[in-house]
Amino acid sequence: MTDWIARHPDLVFAVVKIVLCLFLLLTAVAYLTWFERKLIAHIQSRWGPHRVGPHGLLQPLADGLKNLFKEDIIPSGVTSRFVYLLAPFLAVSLSLLAVAVIPFGPESVEIWGARTGLYIADINIGLLFVLAVTSLGVYAVALAGWSSNSKYSLLGGLRSTAQMVSYEIALTLSVIGVLLLAGTLSLREIVEAQSGHWSGVVPRWFIFPQFVAFLCFFISGVAETNRAPFDLPEAETELVAGFHTEYSSMKFAMFFMAEYSHMIVTSLVASLLFFGGWLSPFPATEFWSITRYLPVVLAAALGGVLLLDVLRQRHWWHRVIMAAVGLGLLAVAGLLATQATLLALAQGPFWLLGKTAVFLFVFVWTRATLPRFRYDQLMAFGWKFLVPLAVLNIVVTSFLVAWRAG
């Protein structure tokens, strides 16, 4: 067995990274639901989840067990049982698949004498792969609405199909300006094209020359994930619950897993295309070298806050959980502070995930504050505003690139 591993290190590393990425992504999806409920609750002056575990931290586990053990009902009148069961699996698998080409950093790590990168696959058409895989998600929604053999589900599926196809066009057009500037479809090379600083201060991120494209991309990304204010396919006041009305138990939860996974992928891609991905916003000079210890400071500060919060907990097992997590974060901070190799390796994921967290906050913030569009407003905004604006950005960027090249 050891000899086989030594002969096929790339395959072993790929399997390990796939398992690790799936575990981390599914955990992030679970706790993104907790984060959304807590943030919206605080915005609306409510408590949110607070009974299951300290601060409700075990609520995602309780929700998962509830959906797993709920009665699995399949309506007797479904159009196609196979398609009915395929739709939720297709939705969640396609949303998870896009993470395969996301690079989390430039560094590679050495294990068992072989080096491997911080990604599952580094392909030269990574951006095209992400756009292709995420756009296929519309089939899951359409098939769910059709196979349920319900008028409510069918209307929800049709509206979702029209919305997702419309905003997919604006989203795809919005990234062409970035491709013109970077000259590549590789996500890793797009990030590398944003390295450096103007005047030694301002990072050369594409958000500055492509701010209009970023707005088109992010708004289209929100619409593609069926998030408020673009959540017309799930408009409960009109369609009960939209395309997944006839789904229950874990199949129902899989559609929401796909939605939150798509949120994470959209935030990751936006960070890579417009905000330098894993690149630090600070110049690589001796004066700013202290910023590399930000992961240490953040982990230590959060661990200290959690340890202080132990005193506020009423139940002993709540205190044990908070103390364990706090001590774990302090241990991570100490390990990063004493191991220069680990600290250097953590820089890329730290900055990329930090930028991604900001976008996820905006996703939740918009849901808590903005009212839902009417359907005619939604379609008009996509076709009459975003698509022409994205095309105009392509034209202006093309002229500027040609002028600079000449």
pLDDT score recorded for residue 226: 82
For 128-173, how does the pLDDT look when each residue is reduced to its tens digit (9 = 90+)?
999 999 888 889 989 999 999 888 888 888 888 888 888 999 999 9
For 356-370, how does the pLDDT look when each residue is reduced to its tens digit (9 = 90+)?
999 999 999 998 888
| Three-class secondary structure of residue 108 per DSSP | strand
Asked if 86 and 264 touch (Cβ cutoff 8 Å), the reply is: no
For 74-106, how does the pLDDT look when each residue is reduced to its tens digit (9 = 90+)?
888 888 899 999 999 999 999 899 999 999 988
pLDDT score recorded for residue 398: 94
pLDDT score recorded for residue 6: 63
Report how far Cα 329 is from the mean position of its chain's Cα atoms.
23
Q: Which positions ≥6 away from 107 have C-beta within 8 Å? A: 117, 118, 344, 345, 347, 348
CA 169 – CA 189 distance, rounded (Å): 24
pLDDT score recorded for residue 355: 96
pLDDT score recorded for residue 240: 66
CA angle, 396 as apex, 193 and 362 as ends, to 5°?
A: 65
CA angle, 255 as apex, 251 and 261 as ends, to 5°?
A: 130
Q: How far apart are the first and last CA of the chain?
A: 59
pLDDT score recorded for residue 333: 95
Q: Which residue has the tokens 């905006």?
A: 362
Identify the segments of the chain with pLDDT beneath 50: none
Q: Which residue has the tokens 């820089």?
A: 347
pLDDT score recorded for residue 238: 61
CA 125 – CA 118 distance, rounded (Å): 17
pLDDT score recorded for residue 246: 87
* Distance set, CA 60 to CA 37, 122, 210, 236 (Å): 11, 32, 38, 23
- For residue 9, say if its preceding peptide bond is cis, omega within 30 degrees of 0: no
Domain boundaries, the chain: 2-279+376-405
Residue type, 314: R
For the entire predicted model, the pTM comes to 0.94
- How is residue 234 written in tokens? 């799930």
- How is residue 383 written in tokens? 């076709």
pLDDT score recorded for residue 286: 84
